[in-house]
């Protein structure tokens, strides 16, 4: 078992580092790193540095080479027992970037050098206190062969460059902002650059550079435009300006995560940079804008103000996700992004929160920090900050963030410091609110409603509870903001006056639940209203509000909160699906629910609605979300119920779906604005329903759309519909797509993912064939995710095949990746951790695979933690 690290053990580092000078003599399999740093003691203790997989070539203290007796080195640390109160340290290490398949530290991707230091990759470059509260000023010199590596980049500003007489050249970069080592970055390679500029509101001009391989130059316009939008938005929304003279983004094709916010030199997974209408879908465009924004926003929420320790990860991530969500909402101007965020949270974060790896937004312990870049820390963390904003209101919240940024600029702080700033600007006591950071699990709220006709009063009684999670048997009540409105029979919102208040205060209120049970009585209520609660999904909870089908249908057409309007439809769909599952379980005959079908038709025909919202409304709840409502998850039944509904809705509304598909055909120039995307989304949703029915005529429409190849959104929609419905044309379609796109790695990833997510018999065999094909590459995380990850996390019916073959397949890959890339191995493993949710036979099969992985020789810390906690 790996060691556990506890938040309660935090102690400040006993030294301060004034600055560090790094020299890299870059060679693929033997790079020499010289680190010269100036130190000052702050408190007593030995000098202990982190370091892994390093060959120590020299160690000098104040210019004197240390003897072996002066220090000790083990696999993880270098300790010097005696050091003066102020000294200079010089360390030379040799590393092997070409052999680095874990993609942490310095590695080679596509022939170029790049780094990934968050969370603890810097220790694979040199010996250093690899913790975020040790901040210093970096000057970095890169030396490399000029012909192979013409571009040499690091953080900050370029201060020197030149040629040497041995065919090598050098560049020196200086970053004036003290930073933790996880924000260090370098890139050396053969890259082309597109350049633009941005003038900040105080009038400074910032050079913007995007580095890609030369053949990708035509796919950079959207990323550059997104960056400029993000810079302008952060000035406007949060008063944050950029601080260096240059902002660089480099796209690399081998990357463990989405992107990284290194100071002044972001490194991106190429999938979040490169886009052209031919190669990227609308969803890709939106994701690129969001990730570019996210990394840019980190410059303040993460870099200028950073984390004291990794337990505080959500301090930067939760807040920055909220910021990128707000940015995306502002760019699209619709409720669609909010709906998509909530879908993600409910389908996956709720699962995490209910499983063996559940942890609070601010965990109290970990074994491997890489395992904590989770949906809980990111997405639930964003919900927590969003709730603060809901409680304080936008103006006070902005005052709070201003105070936080000014008070802590240049510091490494905690989530408590963030909440304290909110308390200080508002005068509110948020001590109970902090439980959101401390307690894991998804709270559940039940609602009892009572209308008293004689009194004209309406009482809502809310009760909260939260299931136990690992290490937390009993939970204290959460401070929950519940946005609420009431509607009269005509669909008009009531003015809300609570008993004891002199006058009504608006048509929407934030009810603050802080106890296990609380009642709210509204007065002057003339007839029994329909409640709309948790509007905009104002808290990450499960709300059990038992509205009848008629009330849900009413809210679907009358609620003035777009999110809740959508939500009412989802509730109805969920209910219909759960009933179908019951029918299937009792061997009954399923039938299409007439009311639901009528509501579907009304929404499809509603000319007043934004097409994107219609598409959202007509998208049935995800299988993973439906699973949340079953005591024992039956992936087969869930899938059959959902398919039944899709197919029968298709039959029932064939004409309307076809009309809509035809009506929304867009022959004009391709645009990527929200309106055009919404149209494509609805149009392709219709196509999906139609193809599901499986007749020749609609299949030929899909083939036509595929062949026309107007843009990747339409192509992918047609191809997915054909492949996932098992259409006879699917092989031909896949072959044509492969022939056209096999040279484009990001597009080929899509081709892999479509096949891996086909909910059909034979998919696993096909996935295995694909894994054996020359296009598959275990060392490329995007490719592994697109095949193995898609199959096991996005194809529940095939992954959970009753014979356990899906589980064994995943485990085989986890075993191989454990040695190559532990981070990816451990992430892929997630679906197996959910074994307790399934029937006894599946539980046994899943556990067997976990146990098999658990006894691997040389089990990585990443995988060991996940397996150990899942089997506990
Ligand atoms: N801080 C980045 C995410 C990130 C985290 C870890 C990584 O490597 C282990 C890479 C990137 C972000 O939030 O965008
Ligand atoms: Zn982030």
Ligand showing the shortest atom-to-Cα distance for residue 291: 1
Is the model's pLDDT at 770 over the cut of 90? yes
Active site residue 317: no
Judged by average pLDDT, the poorest of 32-41, 303-312, 663-672 is 663-672
600 lines ligand 1 (CB under 6 A): no
Atom of ligand 1 nearest to the CA of 121: 9
What's the pLDDT tens digit per position in 78-92?
999 999 999 999 999
Q: Is the distance from the beta carbon of residue 368 to the nearest atom of ligand 1 less than 6 Å?
A: no
Tell me which DSSP letter residue 27 carries: -
- CA-to-CA separations, 759 to 350, 629, 722, in angstroms, rounded: 23, 21, 12
Q: What is the pLDDT of residue 2?
A: 85
Instruction: Output DSSP code: residue 559.
Output: -
Contact 633, 837 (CB under 8 A): yes
Residues 188, 153 contacting (CB under 8 angstroms): yes
Q: Which of 295, 383, 567, 865 is catalytic?
A: 295
Residue nearest ligand 1's atom 3 by CA: 260
> Is residue 543 a contact partner of residue 533, using CB atoms and an 8 Å limit?
yes
Decide: 259 in ligand 1 pocket, CB within 6 A.
Answer: yes
Distance 175 CA to ligand 2 centre (A): 21
115 C-beta closer than 6 A to ligand 1: no
Contact 745, 253 (CB under 8 A): yes
Q: What is the pLDDT of residues 816-866, one digit of tens each?
A: 999 999 999 999 999 999 999 999 999 999 999 999 999 999 999 999 999
- Given pLDDT bands bounded at 50, 70 and 90, which one contains residue 259? very high
Q: Which residue's CA is the closest to the ligand 1 atom numbered 13?
A: 317
The answer on pLDDT for 665 being more than 90 is: no
333 has pLDDT over 80 = yes
Q: Check the CA dihedral 549-551-554-555 and report its sign.
A: negative
Query: Which pLDDT does position 667 carry in this prediction?
Result: 77
Burial of 772 (0-12, 13-18, 19+ CB in 10 A): exposed
Q: Which of 255, 260, 263, 378 to probe ligand 1 with, by most ligand atoms within 8 A of CB?
A: 260
Closest CA to 602 of 616, 617, 612: 617
249 CA to centre of ligand 2 in angstroms: 15
For ligand 1, the distance from its centroid to the CA atom of residue 257, given in whole angstroms, is 6
Q: Given pLDDT bands bounded at 50, 70 and 90, which one contains residue 168? A: very high
Give the DSSP H or E segment for 544. strand 542-544
674 alpha carbon to ligand 2 midpoint, in Å?
25
Reported confidence tier of residue 261, pLDDT bands at 50, 70, 90? very high
Q: Which protein residue has the closest C-alpha to ligand 1 atom 1?
A: 260
b (16+ CB within 10 A) / e for 719-738: bbbbbbbebebbeebbebbe
DSSP code string of 618-629:
HSPPPHHHHHTT
Is the shortest distance between the CB of 256 and ligand 1 below 6 Å?
Answer: yes
**For residue 521, with 0-12 CB atoms within 10 Å meaning exposed, 13-18 middle and 19 or more buried, which class applies?**
middle
Nearest CA to ligand 1 atom 6: 118
Atom 2, ligand 1: residue with shortest CA distance: 260
Q: How far is Cα 813 from Cα 830, in angstroms, rounded to an integer?
A: 13
pLDDT digits (tens, 9 = 90+) for 13-68: 999 999 999 999 999 999 999 999 999 999 999 999 999 999 999 999 999 999 99
Q: What is the pLDDT of residues 435-460, one digit of tens each?
A: 999 999 999 999 999 999 999 999 99
pLDDT interval class at 381 (50, 70, 90): very high
- Check whether 338 has a pLDDT greater than 80: yes
User: 414-438: b or e for each residue (b if 16 or more CB lie within 10 Å)?
Assistant: bbebbbbbbbebbeeebeebbbbbe
Q: How far is the CA of 825 from the centre of ligand 1 (A)?
A: 16
- 8 Å CB contact between 514 and 475: no
Q: Rounded to whole angstroms, how far apart are CA atoms 415 and 161?
A: 41
Q: How far, in Å, CA of 122 to CA of 33, rounded? A: 12
Tell me, using a 6 A CB cutoff, whether residue 116 lines ligand 1: yes
**pTM of the model as a whole:** 0.99
What does the alpha-carbon distance between residue 276 and residue 331 come to, in Å, rounded to a whole number? 19
Average pLDDT, whole number, for the chain? 98
Residue 131 and residue 120: Cα distance in Å, rounded? 8
For ligand 1, whether the C-beta of 260 sits within 6 Å is yes
Three-class SS state of 810: helix
**Cβ of 815: how many Cβ atoms within 10 Å?**
16
CA distances to 227, 289, 385, 403, 772 from 305, in Å = 21, 23, 16, 12, 46
Stretch (H or E) spanning 571: helix 562-585
Q: Is the pLDDT of residue 310 over 80?
A: yes
Which residue's alpha carbon is at the smallest distance from atom 5 of ligand 1? 118
Q: Which residues surround ligand 2, an ion (CB under 5 A)?
A: 317, 320
| Separation of alpha carbons 284 and 297, rounded Å | 20
pLDDT of residue 694: 87
Whether residue 862 has its Cβ less than 6 Å from ligand 1:
no
Quick check: CB of 295 below 6 Å from ligand 1?
yes
Closest residue by CA, ligand 1 atom 9: 118
Cα distance between the two ends of the chain: 12
Percentages of the chain per state (helix, strand, coil), in multiples of 5 = 45, 20, 35
CA distance 394 to 824: 38
- The Å distance, Cα 348 to ligand 2 centre, comes to 18
Which residue puts its alpha carbon closest to atom 12 of ligand 1?
260
Q: What is the 3-state secondary structure (H, E, C) of 762-784?
A: CHHHHHHHHHCCCCCCCCCHHHH
Q: Above pLDDT 70, what percent of the chain?
A: 100
pLDDT at 494: 98
Q: Quick one: pLDDT band at residue 666, thresholds 50, 70, 90?
A: confident
Query: Ligand 1 in contact with 370 (CB < 6 A)?
Result: yes
Tokens 């485990």 appear where?
811
Whether residue 832 has its Cβ less than 6 Å from ligand 1: no
In short, whether 470's Cβ falls inside 6 Å of ligand 1 is: no
pLDDT(668) > 90 = no
Whole-angstrom CA distances from 564 to 374, 483, 589, 609, 855 are: 27, 11, 32, 14, 48
Q: Phi-psi bin for 540: left (phi > 0), alpha (psi -120 to 50), beta?
A: beta
Task: Give residue 521 CA to ligand 1 midpoint distance, Å.
Answer: 47
* Angle, CA of 724, 730 and 734, to the nearest 5°: 105
CA of 66 to the centre of ligand 2 (A): 40
């Amino acid at each position: 078992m790996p060691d556990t690290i506890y938040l309660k053990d935090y102690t400040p580092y006993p030294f301060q580092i004034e600055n560090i000078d790094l020299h890299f003599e870059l060679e693929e399999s033997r790079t020499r790193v010289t680190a010269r740093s100036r130190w000052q003691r702050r408190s007593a203790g030995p000098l202990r540095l982190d370091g892994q997989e390093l060959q120590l070539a020299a160690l000098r203290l104040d210019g004197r080479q240390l003897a072996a007796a002066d220090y000790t080195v083990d696999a993880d640390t270098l300790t010097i027992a005696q050091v003066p109160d102020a000294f200079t340290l010089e360390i030379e290490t040799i590393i092997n970037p070409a052999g680095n398949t874990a993609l942490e530290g310095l590695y080679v991707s596509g022939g170029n050098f790049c780094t990934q230091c968050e969370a603890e990759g810097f220790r694979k470059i040199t010996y250093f206190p690899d913790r975020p509260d040790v901040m210093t000023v970096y000057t970095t010199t890169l030396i490399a062969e000029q012909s192979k590596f013409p571009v040499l980049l690091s953080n900050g500003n370029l201060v020197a460059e030149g040629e040497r007489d041995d065919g090598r050249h050098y560049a020196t970069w200086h970053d004036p902002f003290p930073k933790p080592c996880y924000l260090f970055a370098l890139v050396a390679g053969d890259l082309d650059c597109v350049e633009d500029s941005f003038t900040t509101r105080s009038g400074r001009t910032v050079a913007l550079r995007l580095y890609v391989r030369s053949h990708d130059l035509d796919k950079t316009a959207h990323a550059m435009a997104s960056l400029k939008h993000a810079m302008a938005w952060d000035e406007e929304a949060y008063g944050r300006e950029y601080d260096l003279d240059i902002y660089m983004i480099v796209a690399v094709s081998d990357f463990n995560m989405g992107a990284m916010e290194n100071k002044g030199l972001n490194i991106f997974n190429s999938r979040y940079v490169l886009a052209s209408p031919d190669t990227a879908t609308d969803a890709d465009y939106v994701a690129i804008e969001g990730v570019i924004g996210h990394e840019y926003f980190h410059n303040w929420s993460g870099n200028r103000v950073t984390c004291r320790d990794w337990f505080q990860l959500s301090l930067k991530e939760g807040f920055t996700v909220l910021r990128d969500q707000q940015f995306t909402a502002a760019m699209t101007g619709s409720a669609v992004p909010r709906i998509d965020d909530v879908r993600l949270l409910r389908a996956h974060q709720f699962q995490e929160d209910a499983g063996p790896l559940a942890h609070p937004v601010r965990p109290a312990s970990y074994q491997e920090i890489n395992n904590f870049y989770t949906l809980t820390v990111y997405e639930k963390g964003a919900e927590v900050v969003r709730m603060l904003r809901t409680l304080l209101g936008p103006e006070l919240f902005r005052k709070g963030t201003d105070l936080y940024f000014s008070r802590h600029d240049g510091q490494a702080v905690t989530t408590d410091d963030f909440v304290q700033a909110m308390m200080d600007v508002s005068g509110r006591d948020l001590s109970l609110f902090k439980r959101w950071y401390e307690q894991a699990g998804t709270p559940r709220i039940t609602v009892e409603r009572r209308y008293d006709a004689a009194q004209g009063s309406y009482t809502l009684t809310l009760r909260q509870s939260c299931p136990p999670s690992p290490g937390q048997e009993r939970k204290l009540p959460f401070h929950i903001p519940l946005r609420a409105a009431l509607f009269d029979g005509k669909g008009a919102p009531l003015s809300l006056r609570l008993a004891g208040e002199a006058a009504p205060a608006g048509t929407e209120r934030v009810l603050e639940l802080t106890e296990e049970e609380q009642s709210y009585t509204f007065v002057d209520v003339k007839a029994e209203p329909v409640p709309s609660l948790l509007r905009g999904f104002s808290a990450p909870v499960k709300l059990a509000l038992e509205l009848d089908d008629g009330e849900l249908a009413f809210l679907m057409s009358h609620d003035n909160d777009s999110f809740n309007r959508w939500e009412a439809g989802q509730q109805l769909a969920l209910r219909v699906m759960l009933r179908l599952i019951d029918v299937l379980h009792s061997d009954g005959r399923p039938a299409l629910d007439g009311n639901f079908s009528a509501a579907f038709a009304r929404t499809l025909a509603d000319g007043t609605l934004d097409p994107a919202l219609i598409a959202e409304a007509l998208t049935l709840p995800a299988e993973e979300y439906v699973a949340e409502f079953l005591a024992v998850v039956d992936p087969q039944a869930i899938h059959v119920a959902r398919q039944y509904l899709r197919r029968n809705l298709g039959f029932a509304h064939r004409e309307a779906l076809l009309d809509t598909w035809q009506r929304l055909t867009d022959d004009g120039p391709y645009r990527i604005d929200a309106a055009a995307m919404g149209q494509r989304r609805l149009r392709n949703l219709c196509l999906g329903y139609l193809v599901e029915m499986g007749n020749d005529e609609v299949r030929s429409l899909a083939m036509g759309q595929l062949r026309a190849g107007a843009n990747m959104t339409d192509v992918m929609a047609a191809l997915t519909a054909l492949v996932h419905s098992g259409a006879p044309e699917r092989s031909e379609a896949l072959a044509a797509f492969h022939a056209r796109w096999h040279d484009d790695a990001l597009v080929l990833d899509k081709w892999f993912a479509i096949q891996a997510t086909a909910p059909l018999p034979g998919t696993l065999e096909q996935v295995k064939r694909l894994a054996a094909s020359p296009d598959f590459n275990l060392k490329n995380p995007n490719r592994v995710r697109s095949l193995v990850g898609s199959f096991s996390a996005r194809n529940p019916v095939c992954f959970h095949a009753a014979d356990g073959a899906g589980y064994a397949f995943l485990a085989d890959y986890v075993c191989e990746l454990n040695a190559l890339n532990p981070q990816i191995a451990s992430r892929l493993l997630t679906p197996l951790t959910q074994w307790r949710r399934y029937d006894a036979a599946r539980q046994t099969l899943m556990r067997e695979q976990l146990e098999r992985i658990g006894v691997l020789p040389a089990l990585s810390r990443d995988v060991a933690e996940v397996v150990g906690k899942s089997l506990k």
